[in-house]
Structure 1
Amino acid sequence: MTYEFHAGDSIANDVPNPFKVENLFLALSSIALVAGAISVLLAARAYFQSNEVKLAGVTVMLAVVLFGAATKFLIQALSHIRFYMGIKQPRGLAQELKPTTFGLGNGARGLISTLRDGAIEFPEPKGALNGLLYTLIKPLITSPPPIQVAAVQHFHSLVAMSAILISMIVSYVCVAGSSYEGVVSWFYLPMTGLSILTPFLKQDVEDVSASKVGDSNKMVVTLFGLVVFSVIGPVAIPHYMPAYPIPPMWIAPTLMLVASMVASAMFLASLFSQLDNVEQTSVSCEQTTISMNCHPAQLWTKVSRDFQSQWVRNTPNRAYANVPPGATESDRGSFQGYILEETQPTPFNNMAIGSLSEAFGARHVRWLTALNVWGLLVSVASALTAAAYAPQLGSMAKMDITRAVLVTVALTAAAALAFRISHLLWSRMYFKSRLVCIVVDGTFQDAELSIGNQFTGSVQSRSTLTRVEDATLRVWVTDIVSVAFGKEAKRFIMAMAPADSVAKSTTDGLKEFALSQSSVTVPTNHRDIERAKAVVALDKAISGADASALDAFAIKQSISMQRG
Structure 2
Amino acid sequence: MAYEYGSSAKGLDFPNPFRVENVFRFIAAAVLIGGGLIAIFQGRSGLYAHIGGWALAPILVGVAMLAAGIQHAAVGLSRLRFFFGRGKPAGLAGELADAQLGELAGAVALKSTIRGGAISVAEPTGALNGLLYSLVRPLIWAPQRIQWVAQRLFRTGLTLAVVLLGLLVSLLGVLGEKDMVWLGLFFFIYAAALLLKPLESGDQASTHLGSAGLIVLVLVAILAPVLVHSISSALPNLGGVDLSGQALLLLVCALASVLVFFVAVLRQMVAPPQTTMACELATISMNAPPNQILVELDREMQRNWIEQIPNRRYARYVPQTPGDNGTFHGELLEETQPMPRDDMRTVSFSHALAEPRYRWLTVLSALGVLYTVIGSIALLLFTHQVTMGEIVPALWKYVCFAGGMFSLALFCLRAGHVLWARFDFVSRMTWVEIDGTFQRSHTAVGAQFTDRVRTEKDIVSVNDMTLRVWVAEVDSVTFGSESERRIVGLRGLTDRASALRQQLENFASDQSSVDMPTSRRDVEKIAALGAMNQLAGRPVAPEALLKAMGGAASTASTSSLGPKPAGFCPACGTAVSSAARFCASCGQSLTGG
Give the TM-score, by structure 1 length: 0.88
Q: 1:302 aligns with which of 296, 318, 324?
A: 296
**Counterpart of 2:210 in 1: which secondary structure?**
helix
> For the residues of structure 2 that align with 1:511 and 1:541, how far apart are their CA atoms?
48
Tell me which amino acid in the other structure corresponds to 2:4. E
CA distances 1:224-250 after superposition (whole Å, capped 9, x unpaired): 210111112222444567531332443
Aligned to 2:140: 141
Aligned to 2:98: 99
Aligned to 2:4: 4
Aligned to 1:407: 401
When residues 59 and 252 of structure 1 are mapped into structure 2, their CA distance, relative to the original with a 3 A threshold, is: farther
**Counterpart of 1:370 in 2: which secondary structure?**
helix
| Percent of paired sites with the same residue | 32
Whether the aligned pair in 2 keeps the contact of 1:125 and 1:213 (CA below 8 Å) is: no
> For the residues of structure 2 that align with 1:227 and 1:338, how far apart are their CA atoms?
60
> For the residues of structure 2 that align with 1:407 and 1:190, how far apart are their CA atoms?
11
**Counterpart of 1:288 in 2: which secondary structure?**
strand
Whether the aligned pair in 1 keeps the contact of 2:40 and 2:63 (CA below 8 Å) is: no
Tell me which amino acid in the other structure corresponds to 1:221. A
> For the residues of structure 2 that align with 1:359 and 1:177, how far apart are their CA atoms?
51
When residues 554 and 272 of structure 1 are mapped into structure 2, their CA distance, relative to the original with a 3 A threshold, is: closer
Tell me which amino acid in the other structure corresponds to 1:389. F
> For the residues of structure 2 that align with 1:352 and 1:546, how far apart are their CA atoms?
83
**Counterpart of 2:173 in 1: which secondary structure?**
helix
Tell me which amino acid in the other structure corresponds to 1:371. L
CA distances 1:332-354 after superposition (whole Å, capped 9, x unpaired): 22221211112222222435666
When residues 531 and 129 of structure 1 are mapped into structure 2, their CA distance, relative to the original with a 3 A threshold, is: same
Q: Does 1:416 align with 2:410?
A: yes
Aligned to 2:212: 221
Q: Does 1:166 align with 2:165?
A: yes
Q: Shift in Å at residue 57 of structure 1?
A: 4.5
- CA root-mean-square deviation: 3.0
Aligned to 1:72: 71
Q: Does 1:113 align with 2:112?
A: yes
Tell me which amino acid in the other structure corresponds to 1:271. V
Q: Shift in Å at residue 540 of structure 1?
A: 4.7
CA distances 1:173-218 after superposition (whole Å, capped 9, x unpaired): 32252544444344334433333312124324xx6xxxx899x7x5
Q: Does 1:474 align with 2:468?
A: yes
Worse overlay, 71-80 or 384-393: 71-80
Q: Does 1:449 align with 2:440?
A: no
The higher-RCO structure (CA 8 Å, 6+ apart) is 1
Q: 2:527 aligns with which of 519, 533, 554?
A: 533
Q: 1:553 aligns with which of 512, 537, 545?
A: 545
> For the residues of structure 2 that align with 1:30 and 1:551, how far apart are their CA atoms?
96
Whether the aligned pair in 2 keeps the contact of 1:349 and 1:430 (CA below 8 Å) is: no
Q: Shift in Å at residue 282 of structure 1?
A: 0.3
Which has the greater radius of gyration?
Answer: 2
**Counterpart of 2:255 in 1: which secondary structure?**
helix
> For the residues of structure 2 that align with 1:550 and 1:148, how far apart are their CA atoms?
90
Tell me which amino acid in the other structure corresponds to 2:331. Y
Tell me which amino acid in the other structure corresponds to 1:546. R
Tell me which amino acid in the other structure corresponds to 1:515. S
When residues 510 and 356 of structure 1 are mapped into structure 2, their CA distance, relative to the original with a 3 A threshold, is: closer
Tell me which amino acid in the other structure corresponds to 2:297. V
> For the residues of structure 1 that align with 2:372 and 2:220, how far apart are their CA atoms?
33
Q: 2:373 aligns with which of 365, 373, 380?
A: 380
Q: Shift in Å at residue 21 of structure 1?
A: 2.4
Mind listing any 5+ residue stretches in structure 1 that lack a counterpart? Answer: none
Whether the aligned pair in 1 keeps the contact of 2:529 and 2:549 (CA below 8 Å) is: no
> For the residues of structure 2 that align with 1:119 and 1:558, how far apart are their CA atoms?
69
Q: Shift in Å at residue 285 of structure 1?
A: 0.1
Aligned pairs for 1:9-28 (under 5 A) are 9-13=9-13, 15-28=14-27
CA distances 1:516-539 after superposition (whole Å, capped 9, x unpaired): 112222333333333333334444
When residues 229 and 448 of structure 1 are mapped into structure 2, their CA distance, relative to the original with a 3 A threshold, is: same
Tell me which amino acid in the other structure corresponds to 2:154. F
Whether the aligned pair in 2 keeps the contact of 1:347 and 1:431 (CA below 8 Å) is: yes
Q: Shift in Å at residue 356 of structure 1?
A: 4.3
Whether the aligned pair in 2 keeps the contact of 1:372 and 1:422 (CA below 8 Å) is: yes
**Counterpart of 1:468 in 2: which secondary structure?**
strand
Q: Shift in Å at residue 134 of structure 1?
A: 1.0
> For the residues of structure 1 that align with 2:434 and 2:320, how far apart are their CA atoms?
11
Q: Shift in Å at residue 151 of structure 1?
A: 0.8
Q: Tell me the matched-pair count.
A: 551
**Counterpart of 2:438 in 1: which secondary structure?**
strand
